[in-house]
Chain A
Amino acid sequence: AQSVAQPEDQVNVAEGNPLTVKCTYSVSGNPYLFWYVQYPNRGLQFLLKYITGDNLVKGSYGFEAEFNKSQTSFHLKKPSALVSDSALYFCARILTGGGNKLTFGTGTQLKVEL
């Protein structure tokens, strides 16, 4: 089945340190991948997407993600975390078979501490 997996329910990092939020995808289907962020009591906000081209994708708020075909991964990264980055992060992919339907990972709660 076409899916994405987020192996960590929660990631803790100190402010100023680099952060990584992991996402892997199943080999079947296309690797059209997205990252969204959800702040408390807010809807999901788009961060970045990989469709084709450069494996390093830059997005909003200083985030970037690296598409790695050999490892079937699309990890979200930021060189220096901020307390305000604390939120719930979702990886998602386009489902093939028609249309623009997304399937989401289960989410990773990022907590950035002083």
Chain B
Amino acid sequence: DADVTQTPRNRITKTGKRIMLECSQTKGHDRMYWYRQDPGLGLRLIYYSFDVKDINKGEISDGYSVSRQAQAKFSLSLESAIPNQTALYFCATSDSRTAGWETQYFGPGTRLLVL
């Protein structure tokens, strides 16, 4: 979905390096999420933010941190990358004003390789 963009799309880094993955959205949604996808494991939630001042850990937050710089921007950082953080990372957004349980809309993903 072009309304949710992620940069970079691909990244190769070395063990111990600090890297940041960025997500921006023009959908006007208040809620944003970071997931990682590993083959055979589906998607797992890393962190989520329901508004600029609300940050929450997901099921696999260890080794990661996030920053919600504005309603439209949500960054994921790996403070000291390790090889088992090699994965496909997705950002998603949703709108809490939606009646019922809102749909999440995903960015194109960032493929990260940690050597």
Contacts and interface: CB of A to CB of B under 8 A. Distances in A.
Contacts of B43: 44, 90, 92, 102, 104
Nearest to B4: A43
Interface of A: 9, 32, 34, 36, 41-46, 49, 51-52, 90, 92, 94, 99-107
Interface residues of B, number: 28
Interface string B48-86: 101000001010000000000000000000000000000
Interface string B78-100: 00000000000010101010001
B55 to A, nearest CB: 12
B102 A100 contact: yes
24 contacts: A34-B103, A36-B106, A43-B4, A43-B90, A43-B106, A43-B107, A43-B108, A43-B109, A44-B43, A45-B106, A46-B104, A46-B105, A51-B101, A52-B100, A90-B42, A92-B43, A99-B56, A100-B101, A100-B102, A101-B33, A103-B45, A104-B42, A104-B43, A107-B42
Contacts of B44: 104
A101 B45 contact: yes
B42 A45 contact: no
Given A105-B42, A106-B40, A43 B103 contact: no
Residue in B31, B42, B56, B109 whose Cβ sees the most chain A Cβ within 10 Å = B42
B12 interface: no
Nearest to B102: A100
Nearest to B59: A103
A111 B1 CA distance: 23
Contacts of B56: 99
Contact of A101 (B4, B58, B100): B58
Contacts of B33: 101
